Amino acid sequence: MTVYTLAREAGFTVEAGADAEDREVKGVYCCDLLSMVMGRAKADTAWITVISNVNSLAVASLADVACIVIAEGVPVDAETRAKAEQQEILILSSPLPVFETGLAIHRCIGAAE
């Protein structure tokens, strides 16, 4: 399932990354500590976090995740949004807490298989 399909099915909004590639999502990873994400997140996963800043963008790009999902409806600031557009990184926003967000994605990807 691709990021846009996932966003639609799970009811998440696309916050940034209009020009980014609509990549296939192959799993879920949740963590807020950046170097934990660097070390443990697999490529092509949806990365769920509540921290949204420009440093998360670098991590998402270098760890090669499919998209960032900001949980708990935490707002994405203008600078992060602008940089995400520029670096072509997809950011989704979920109103749900981290666990429920992960569960929703897991169910969507599972159902699509």
Partner 1 sequence: MAMSDEIRLRFEISGDDFTRAGEASSSVKKELKKLGIDPQAVRKVAIAMYEGEINMVIHANGGAIDVVIHPDCIDMILKDNGPGIENVALAMQEGYSTAPDNVRSLGFGAGMGLPNMKKYTDEMQIETERGVGTTVTMKVHI
Ligand X SMILES: Nc1ncnc2c1ncn2[C@@H]1O[C@H](COP(=O)(O)OP(=O)(O)OP(=O)(O)O)[C@@H](O)[C@H]1O
| Interface contacts to ligand X, rule CB under 6 A | 34-35
Task: List the interface residues with partner 1, window 48-87 (CB under 8 A).
Answer: 49, 51, 53-59, 61-64, 79, 87
Q: Which is nearer to ligand X, 12 or 29 (CB)?
A: 29
Q: Least distance in Å: CB of 32 to partner 1?
A: 6
Per CB under 8 A, the segment of 8-16, 27-35, 93-101, 102-110 that binds partner 1 is 27-35
**5 sits near partner 1 (criterion: CB under 8 A):** no
Is 31 in contact with 51 (CB distance < 8 Å)? no
Q: Which is nearer to ligand X, 35 or 111 (CB)?
A: 35
| DSSP assignment string, the chain | -BHHHHHHHHT-EEEE-TTS--PBP--EEE-S-HHHHHHHPPTT-EEEES--SHHHHHHHHHHT-SEEEE-TTPPPPHHHHHHHHHHT--EEE-SS-HHHHHHHHHHHHHHH-
Binding site for partner 1 (CB under 8 A): 32-36, 38-39, 43, 49, 51, 53-59, 61-64, 79, 87
